[in-house]
Amino acid sequence: MTVLGPYADDAGNTIEFRSADGSAAPSPDDAALAASAGALFRVLFSGRRNRLVHSLPMRLADLRIQFDCDDGLVEIGPRAGVPALRANMRVGQDARIVLGRNVSATSRVGFSAVEGTTVTVGDDVMFASDIQLRADDGHPIFDVRTGRRANPARPITVGDHVWVGWGAVLLAGTTVGDGSVVGMHAVVKGRVPNNCVVAGVPARVVRRDIAWERPHLSLSKPYYKPDASTVERSPYWNLTQDDALPTVTGRGRTARRVLRRVLPRPLRARLRRLARKVRPAR
């Protein structure tokens, strides 16, 4: 399909539209079509009983979806007042990709979900350029001794009001808490707390207790934003509640925090005494 509108075929594949209140809408309204004028739109159905459900109002720039198997689902929430959506999605057997309200992207975000996994993105999420969310690796890797799969597909969940920076990759099994920021070229796997900044390969928490807002530094007045009085605060100004990933706060502190979690207290004490014995003289 390359034409934006309702669709159904003999294999049970459908494209559906819903209004903001969740009720079925027969087709995109004039405002939605105007907001998406000139958008690239392509949906390929290779299997059966796949569904694309798009909520109104919508704003598209470039949307390409490939349903490879059967019983896949893509749900895209309404968008208004944010940049248009750009995405490239691959959906496998029984898999789901679900985007909330006002999800925007600077360039096409790559989504991949197969083998019954789900990629979920919350409301008011901002994707920069060249980003991937991969619930799978695309090809299986097996343990030679046992024959078991070494890289199973796992779900990805991105909370509300998350900013994912340029070139970042979110891998299978990742959860990002509300209000957080993923730094440029970060590779994230595991749980990310709320209201923090993660960066690096693999990603680590580099700052806690942060909040971010959408106004651009050079496109939105005032052109200097030294403090929070220059922006309208969203509801996502909260203290970080969880430290799921190690925190980088200075030399040696990450290692100490990890040791505190995994080693019993007597063994930690012995290690500290040993470290003092071998510490070089200044």
- For the chain, the structural domain boundaries read 7-249
**128-132, 180-184, 245-249: which range is least confident on average?**
245-249
Q: How far is CA 87 from CA 39, 130, 255, in A?
A: 12, 10, 38
Percent of the chain with pLDDT over 70: 85
Look over the chain and give the mean of its residue pLDDT values, rounded to a whole number: 89
Handedness of CA 160, 53, 168, 62 (dihedral sign): negative
pLDDT confidence bin for 246, thresholds 50/70/90: confident
| CATH assignment of 7-249, among 3.20.20.150, 1.10.260.40, 3.40.50.970, 2.160.10.10 | 2.160.10.10
Q: Looking up tokens 């200097």, which residue turns up?
A: 224
**Percentages of the chain per state (helix, strand, coil), in multiples of 5:** 10, 30, 60
User: Phi/psi of residue 76, each to 5°?
Assistant: -120, 120
**Which tens digit of pLDDT belongs to each residue from 38-81?**
789 999 999 999 999 999 988 899 999 999 999 999 999 998 88
pLDDT confidence bin for 36, thresholds 50/70/90: confident
Q: In whole angstroms, what is the distance from residue 77 CA to residue 126 CA? A: 14
Q: In whole angstroms, what is the distance from residue 151 CA to residue 156 CA? A: 14
The whole-model pTM stands at: 0.84
Coil, helix or strand at residue 44: strand
pLDDT confidence bin for 34, thresholds 50/70/90: low
Q: How far is CA 230 from CA 113, 134, 171, 173, 233, in A?
A: 40, 36, 35, 37, 9
pLDDT confidence bin for 272, thresholds 50/70/90: low
Predicted local confidence at residue 276, as pLDDT: 60
Residue 280 has pLDDT above 70, yes or no: no
pLDDT confidence bin for 281, thresholds 50/70/90: very low
Mean pLDDT of 9-27: 87
Predicted local confidence at residue 21, as pLDDT: 73
Predicted local confidence at residue 271, as pLDDT: 65
